[in-house]
């Protein structure tokens, strides 16, 4: 994260009542690969990659101003978190739009959104995401394109005091819905975090 904005990102998280780790993960996702210096192909702009209509809705007068852009992005994430009640689904809505999350009944089956959610979970950390008891992660059953692209549904209950066996089972369900690619060492580390070891 750009050091010059870290304090401001945290300040906005506090202002809008959302966990700093969530906002930092959104910020990191959006500023990756230097996207913050130009518009995306979809038209999103600035540090938090706000669409002009979203920026306007969030009261951002100058989308190119980093401070206004960051505040608008944090305010929008807070709105998505309030609407969907789940940080992972809120991150998906931030990326793909709340309409797509509603349409697909959970995380949309778009490759970009699945990657975004994976990175969000990795950046926030399983321990922070488990702070809310009985968090359910619902993956869409609807299909966007070819069947192999669609995600299977896998509601997962992440209880704070889960046993290592339950956590391993839950982790496998999450990874099955998000796709393959996690290394065994990362898997074991996440299982350890989830089980409180």
User: What mean pLDDT is predicted for residues 66-73?
Assistant: 95
Counting Cβ atoms within 10 Å, is residue 17 exposed (0-12), middle (13-18) or buried (19+)? Answer: exposed
pLDDT tens by residue, 131-162 = 544 444 444 555 444 333 333 333 444 444 55
pLDDT at 80 over 80: yes
C-alpha 69: how far from its chain's center?
Answer: 18
Mean pLDDT value across residues 169-184: 56
Mean pLDDT value across residues 62-84: 95
Q: How far is CA 53 from CA 79, 99, 191, in A?
A: 15, 14, 40
pLDDT at 69: 94
The rounded distance, in Å, linking the Cα atoms of 181 and 189 is 15
Q: Enumerate the active-site residues.
A: 30
Q: What is the mean pLDDT of residues 106-131?
A: 85
CA dist 16 to 12, 82, 194, Å?
A: 6, 11, 27
- Is 86 in contact with 135 (CB distance < 8 Å)? yes
């Amino acid at each position: 994260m750009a050091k010059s904005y870290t304090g401001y990102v945290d300040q906005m998280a506090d202002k809008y009542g959302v966990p700093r780790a969530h906002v930092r993960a959104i910020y990191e996702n959006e500023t990756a690969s230097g996207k913050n210096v130009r518009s995306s192909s979809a038209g999103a702009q600035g540090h938090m990659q706000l669409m002009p209509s979203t920026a306007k809705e969030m009261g951002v007068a100058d989308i190119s101003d980093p401070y206004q852009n960051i505040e608008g992005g944090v305010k929008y994430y807070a709105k998505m978190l309030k609407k969907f009640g789940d940080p992972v689904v809120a991150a998906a809505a931030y990326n793909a739009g709340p309409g797509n999350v509603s349409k697909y009944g959970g995380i949309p089956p778009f490759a970009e959104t699945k990657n975004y959610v994976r990175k969000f979970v990795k950046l926030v950390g399983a321990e922070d995401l488990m702070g809310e008891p009985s968090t359910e992660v619902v993956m869409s059953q609807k299909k966007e394109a070819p069947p192999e692209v669609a995600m299977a549904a896998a509601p997962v209950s992440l209880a704070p005091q889960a046993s290592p066996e339950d956590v391993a089972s839950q982790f496998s369900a999450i990874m099955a819905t998000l796709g393959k690619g996690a290394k065994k060492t990362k898997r074991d580390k996440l299982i350890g975090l989830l089980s409180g070891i």
